[in-house]
Structure 1
Amino acid sequence: MRVIFAGTPEFAAVALDALLAAGFTVPLVLTQPDRPAGRGMKLQASAVKQRAVAAGIPVAQPQGLKLDGKYAADAAAARETLLAADADVMVVAAYGLILPQWVLDLPRRGCLNIHASLLPRWRGAAPIHRAIEAGDAQTGITIMQMDAGLDTGDMLLVGREAIRAGDTTAVLHDRLAALGGDLIVQALQAPALTRTPQPAEGVTYAHKIEKAESTIDWRQPAAEIERRLRAFDPFPGGVATLGGETVKVWRAELAAGQGQPGEVIAAGPVVACGEGALRLTELQRAGGKRGPAAAFLQARPIAEGERFDA
């Protein structure tokens, strides 16, 4: 079977690794154009491109795929490349571009998507983050036959994964990436799969994570803030102000106590929330490195009665 692969970040690269390990022929990889990254803002290839180059697979990086859009020339060149690849199926995982109908129709078996949620819950860009933020007990991977909608296609395979206490997006991401690799191999090796339409009930949307969401609202219940911090690790973290200084809060645990939201009510530091309190366990000063609260307190003691502002 000839499999075109379309993906960009590490989540997708894990699936590409699984396909290659299973012996599938991958004649072409699509991925996002190289982007500036790091302190020097040098162009950096995506995780998928790095894997493809290492494996000797041709890579295409169109800026767009709409034949009548802004990047029509890119799209036309990509179309010729895709046709030449003569694929049976395209596997898509966190690619980052919407596939127009001509792409969906091109492979003989269409396009299969590896989506990191139990559809129809958490369609959209940030399903792992939003599942943790919402306090879901479980999530998973759905292998979906793609259509023109936003994660609306028929389901082919579903794998479930419990969300454990203390899971961050980074930790859960790695488990789901491995599960996605396993399931896409199963889907392509299966002699036949039943297509199950997604139910109309239970649809939610995992909107893209915005940096502005990192501001901590201490008026919220402690449990909600704690989940949000785990959901926003590794990006964008939680941000608060203490004595005019910006502080990043990475991890916290539920604690006893009450007070005005944002008020430090005990050593640790323990901070009062709208409901309950949080013991902050991992902090970062501006320009510093994230680390245990104890290390932070050595450099910047926090006294009872001080107050964190949003």
Structure 2
Amino acid sequence: MRVVFAGTPEFARSALEAIAATGGDLEVVLVLTQPDRPAGRGMKLQASAVKQCALAHGWPVAQPRSLRLDGKYPEDAAAARDALLAARADVMVVAAYGLILPQWVLDMPRLGCLNIHASLLPRWRGAAPIHRAIEAGDVETGVTIMQMDAGLDTGDMLMEERVAIADDDSTARLHDRLAELGGRLIVEALHAARAGTLKPVPQPQGGVTYAHKIEKHEAKIDWTQPAAVIARRVRAFDPFPGASSVIDGEVVKLWAARGEAQDPAAGNAMPGTVLDAAPSGIRVATGEGQLIATELQRPGGKRLPAADFLRGFDLKAGQVFEN
């Protein structure tokens, strides 16, 4: 079975490695990924996780800036079209690729394009399903293998598997579990597609939500929100962009926190007020309840447990985080 793979980040690399692990039973004939981007302190061009994987396996790689033949980079799209025609793929697997697939791409493989999506569709269509599921307080999520169409994650469902979201799950932690699951499911789906046993199921009309892309401005903590909401956002924004707040002119990132009921002894403290700075955690008043921050970071520093953080940051009760 000739497979074209389109993906870019670590989530997609896990699926590509799972396909590689079939030992050639599923033959990768072309890999599409985003162009190299500047990264790191030196801002040097860096290949995507998928490109690194493809090169390690000796697979051909194409990195078009667009696949639209009538778009801004028609020469890139035309070269990609030629590469896809030469690949003679039976199927294309798509995972967090980052480019919109025009209809000519969707129609090219004999079995179409199968997408690995990290949610239980139709909930959390869009770019950031893992983050938004945690932020919303969902108790479960999962992976859906979907037959792609021209819409935004609107195609028929082919397979799905559910995963519980733990109370302490961050996006980083949940991402890794879902990436592994996505790799296993796509291999199963490809074998089923070859055997002709996949049964497409239209997505339900109800329950549609959109997981909009995470923006940097969302990192700022609003201390007037309930502690439980803030704690979920702390977990949802790990590793990017990191929930943050300013105190005494310095930006502090919170990487681990939990919400608790308000201590009656705290009275009517203004949201953002530090109630206690103890090695076990820093208690901060919120709009409802109190937040216990247990892992924090100063600019240029490392993530530290509260006890270590306090050794280098003289935080005291009564100080106030900005809203």
| Bin for the TM-score computed over the shorter chain | over 0.9
Per-residue CA deviation, residues 219-251 of structure 1 (Å, 9 max, x unaligned), is 000000000000000011111111121111111
Most deviating of 20-29 and 30-39: 20-29
Per the alignment, residue 230 of structure 1 pairs with: 235
- Counterparts of 2:251 and 2:20, CA distance in 1: 45
Query: Is residue 198 of structure 2 the alignment partner of residue 193 of structure 1?
Result: yes
Q: Which amino acid aligns with 2:275?
A: I
Q: Which amino acid aligns with 2:230?
A: I
- Counterparts of 1:225 and 1:201, CA distance in 2: 28
Per the alignment, residue 257 of structure 2 pairs with: 252
- Counterparts of 1:116 and 1:159, CA distance in 2: 10
Residue 292 of structure 2, aligned match among 279, 300, 305: 279
Identity %: 69
Per-residue CA deviation, residues 30-77 of structure 1 (Å, 9 max, x unaligned), is 000000000000000000000000000000000000001101111011
- Counterparts of 1:5 and 1:287, CA distance in 2: 37
User: How far off is 1:265 after superposition?
Assistant: 1.3
TM-score using structure 2 length:
0.95
- Counterparts of 2:5 and 2:311, CA distance in 1: 49
Query: Is residue 274 of structure 2 the alignment partner of residue 264 of structure 1?
Result: yes
Per the alignment, residue 145 of structure 2 pairs with: 143
Q: Which amino acid aligns with 2:55?
A: V
Q: Which amino acid aligns with 1:215?
A: K
Per the alignment, residue 3 of structure 2 pairs with: 3
1:199-210 aligned at under 5 Å gives the runs 199-210=204-215
TM-score using structure 1 length:
0.98
SS, match of residue 29 in structure 2? coil
Q: Which amino acid aligns with 1:248?
A: K
Most deviating of 123-132 and 14-23: 14-23
Query: Is residue 13 of structure 2 the alignment partner of residue 13 of structure 1?
Result: yes
Per-residue CA deviation, residues 90-132 of structure 1 (Å, 9 max, x unaligned), is 0000000000000000000000000000000000000000000
User: How far off is 1:87 after superposition?
Assistant: 0.3
- Counterparts of 1:2 and 1:30, CA distance in 2: 14
User: How far off is 1:20 after superposition?
Assistant: 1.2
Query: Is residue 308 of structure 2 the alignment partner of residue 292 of structure 1?
Result: no
Most deviating of 8-17 and 262-271: 262-271
Per-residue CA deviation, residues 125-160 of structure 1 (Å, 9 max, x unaligned), is 000000000000000000000000000000000011
Q: Which amino acid aligns with 2:276?
A: A
- Counterparts of 1:107 and 1:124, CA distance in 2: 23
- Counterparts of 1:141 and 1:249, CA distance in 2: 28
Query: Is residue 65 of structure 2 the alignment partner of residue 60 of structure 1?
Result: no
User: How far off is 1:253 after superposition?
Assistant: 1.8
Runs of 4+ in 1 over 6 A off after TM superposition: none
Q: Which amino acid aligns with 1:36?
A: P
1:67-216 aligned at under 5 Å gives the runs 67-190=69-192, 191=195, 192-216=197-221
- Counterparts of 1:211 and 1:267, CA distance in 2: 27
User: How far off is 1:254 after superposition?
Assistant: 2.2
Per the alignment, residue 243 of structure 1 pairs with: 248
Q: How many residues align?
A: 310
- Counterparts of 2:84 and 2:103, CA distance in 1: 14
SS, match of residue 228 in structure 1? helix
Residue 221 of structure 1, aligned match among 226, 233, 237: 226
SS, match of residue 234 in structure 1? coil
Q: Which amino acid aligns with 2:73?
A: Y
- Counterparts of 1:246 and 1:83, CA distance in 2: 51
- Counterparts of 2:245 and 2:313, CA distance in 1: 15
User: How far off is 1:267 after superposition?
Assistant: 2.7
